[in-house]
Structures are given as C-alpha cells and as structure tokens.
Amino acid sequence: MRVPMLTMALLAACLAMAPCAASAQAGPPIPMQSASSEPANAEQQPLAWSALSADQQSMLAPLQGQWNQLQPARQRRLAERAQHWATLPPEHRQQIRERLHRWATMSPEQRRQVRENARAFHNLSPAERAKVSEAFRKFQSLPPAERHALHERWRAMSPQQRMRWAAGDTDKPILLRPPAASSDH
C-alpha cells in the first residue's frame, strides 16, 4: 500500500507544483545538498558575493538577496555550479536563471515540499520513477487550460478521492466538493 500512496503523493505534488516544476525536466536540478572535496575549514568561511566572478554573479543573480543567509558550503557549491552553467548554451542558462528565480521566490514551506518530493522521487524504483515521469510528461503536454482544470479538480478532491483517482479507479464517478475559497493560486 506504500507504493500507491507515494505515487499518489508525487502526482499530487506534480499537480500542485507544476508551475514551479515545468522546466525542471529540461536541465540540471535546483542545487541541493552534496558532498564537496574542499577542506572542512574552507567550507565554514562565507563566500562574499563580491568574490564571485562576473559570470558567477550573472548566473546566481536571482539568489543575490539571499546570498548572505546561505550556508558557506552551499555558497561554494553554487559558485562551482555557476562556473559550469556559464559554459552552457544561452537558452539553457536562461532556463537555469528562471529556475533559480522561482526557487528564490518560494516560501520556506514550498522549498521544503520540493526537497521532500525530490527525495521521495529518487527513492522510488526505476519503474515507479518512469511511471511518475510519464504522468508528469502527459500533464505537461496538456494545453494550459486543461492543466488548470485538472489542477482545480485535484484540489477539490478529498484525499480518498485522490487515492481512487491516482489508482485508476475511475469507473465510479468522483463527486467533487466545492473548492475552498483561496487566493494562493
């Protein structure tokens, strides 16, 4: 029962975070925790924004306002990645900047949810990941109006209705309760 529940949760995340995740399939992931080969004491020292090259600053511009709040190790990993990103084609660099901008404007709760969803996705079996990826591709291929309608339908479902729907039990009509009035679209 764990797998269908996890698949359902990931599908829910796709529907809820689709605007944020739309370009996540097209490039490197949003920077997350990773190991580094630098000595531990170097990673404990903050990296000043002014110490970054012009190319690094250009790539990381969406994070400039938050730079001093980042952990020094994270600053260093981002700076290293920015050096690589600066060598990519212009279209790819623009996609990365857009993702960094969306990341920078997310609330801490939204970031936590994205990290949690990414971890859950990576913990799936290859077959389960393929199934979720295919569902996401299908969702993304829909016209915007249909994606919005599907998103609204999903939001209006109870957890039990979502589980039935995600499990493919669509023979029975799913009665929707009216969506709660909300301004967080």
Domain boundaries, the chain: 2-29+43-166
| Predicted local confidence at residue 171, as pLDDT | 57
| Predicted local confidence at residue 44, as pLDDT | 82
Quote the CA–CA distance of 177 and 155 in Å, as a whole number. 10
Quote the CA–CA distance of 71 and 47 in Å, as a whole number. 9
Q: Tell me phi and psi for residue 127, to 5 degrees.
A: -65, -40
Closest C-alpha among 137, 152, 136 to residue 184: 152
Alpha helical stretches, state H, the chain: 2-21, 40-43, 54-60, 72-85, 90-105, 108-122, 126-141, 144-156, 159-166
| Predicted local confidence at residue 40, as pLDDT | 54
| Predicted local confidence at residue 14, as pLDDT | 54
Closest C-alpha among 180, 34, 13 to residue 110: 13
Quote the CA–CA distance of 118 and 56 in Å, as a whole number. 26
pTM above 0.85, yes or no: no
Identify the three-state secondary structure at position 11: helix
Quote the CA–CA distance of 100 and 155 in Å, as a whole number. 26
The pLDDT averaged over each successive group of 10 residues in the chain (185 residues) is 49 50 41 47 82 92 92 94 93 93 93 92 91 88 91 87 75 48 46
| Predicted local confidence at residue 110, as pLDDT | 94
Cβ contact 64:49 at 8 Å: yes
CA-based max dimension of the chain: 61
